[in-house]
Amino acid sequence: MSQVRSSSKQRITNWQRSKRLLTVYARPYAGSLICGLVAMIFVAAFSAAPAKLIEPIIDDIFVSRKMDMLWPVTLMVFGVFLLKGIATYMESVFMAYVGQRIITDIQKDLFSHLIKADLSYFHNHASGHLISHFNNDVTKLQSAVTGTLTNIVKDALTLAFFIALMFHQDWFLASIAFFILPIAILPVARMGKKIRKVSLNVQEEMSTLTTLLNQAFQGMRLIKSYCMERYE
């Protein structure tokens, strides 16, 4: 029972952090964020477009042998991939800008908070752990902002366009596929939980490693004086 409560508290905490990240830190860059989301919509649409172009390629060119359709279809395929590349570039630029600005603001607030803390706080927390918050934890957060969040939104939009295309092409086969889809989602969801646990363990180990390296480098004179290289 206590494990259930602790896990629910953890979920609430994660939701509160994500909400604060979007409402407080991302709000000043709402314009760039909206431009990035619009670019994602175009990327998702152009990702599903080649599936629609397969029909004229097979029916008109390979089956009906309509050679006059060769160039129009070729230009359409080239145009789709060109526009997808442009949209992908714009999405990467806008989301990278938003991610960098958010990380900069978080680092400023974190430093301002730590610099005002009591001296006892620094005695109770190793300097390596504090440095790890600035480097490793913030880098993980940047990856979540510019990488994971972007991929989730973009993949969801791409999936929506593909689902619409599937039902447009053949609603019966699409309905059968939706019965099989939940079976494939369950192992993926379980694997995601395990990956999150491993990621938290990696962050803790990196924090410990940073502390050990920081202590070793700061005490290098003592190490050399007492010939403690092997011990270290």
Which of 213, 156, 174, 205 has the alpha carbon at shortest distance from 40?
A: 156
Do the domain assignments include residue 182? no
- The pLDDT score that the predictor gives to residue 79 is 92
Task: Please count the structural domains in the chain.
Answer: 1
Do the domain assignments include residue 128? yes
Do the domain assignments include residue 222? no
Q: Over pLDDT 70: what percentage of the chain? A: 72
Do the domain assignments include residue 193? no
R_g (Cα) of the chain, nearest Å: 26
Mean pLDDT of the 121-139 span? 72
Do the domain assignments include residue 180? no
List pLDDT tens digits, range 173-229.
777 777 777 777 777 777 767 776 766 666 667 767 777 777 777 676 666 666 666
- Which carries the bigger pLDDT value, residue 4 or residue 98? 98
What is the CATH classification number for the domain harbouring 6?
Answer: 1.20.1560.10
Determine which of 108-112, 119-123, 184-188 has the lowest per-residue pLDDT on average.
Answer: 184-188
Do the domain assignments include residue 229? no
Do the domain assignments include residue 210? no
pTM: 0.64
Furthest-apart CA atoms within the chain: distance in Å: 86
Q: Is the Cα dihedral 132, 199, 143, 10 positive or negative? A: negative
Are 207 and 132 contacting, i.e. CB atoms less than 8 angstroms apart? yes
Q: Over pLDDT 90: what percentage of the chain? A: 12
Determine which of 64-73, 85-94, 96-105 has the lowest per-residue pLDDT on average.
Answer: 64-73
φ, ψ (nearest 5 deg) of residue 144 = -70, -40
- The pLDDT score that the predictor gives to residue 11 is 45
Identify the domain containing residue 116 by its residue range. 2-170
Do the domain assignments include residue 127? yes
Are 144 and 195 contacting, i.e. CB atoms less than 8 angstroms apart? no
List pLDDT tens digits, range 151-182.
888 888 888 888 888 888 877 877 777 777 77
- The pLDDT score that the predictor gives to residue 204 is 67
- The pLDDT score that the predictor gives to residue 200 is 63
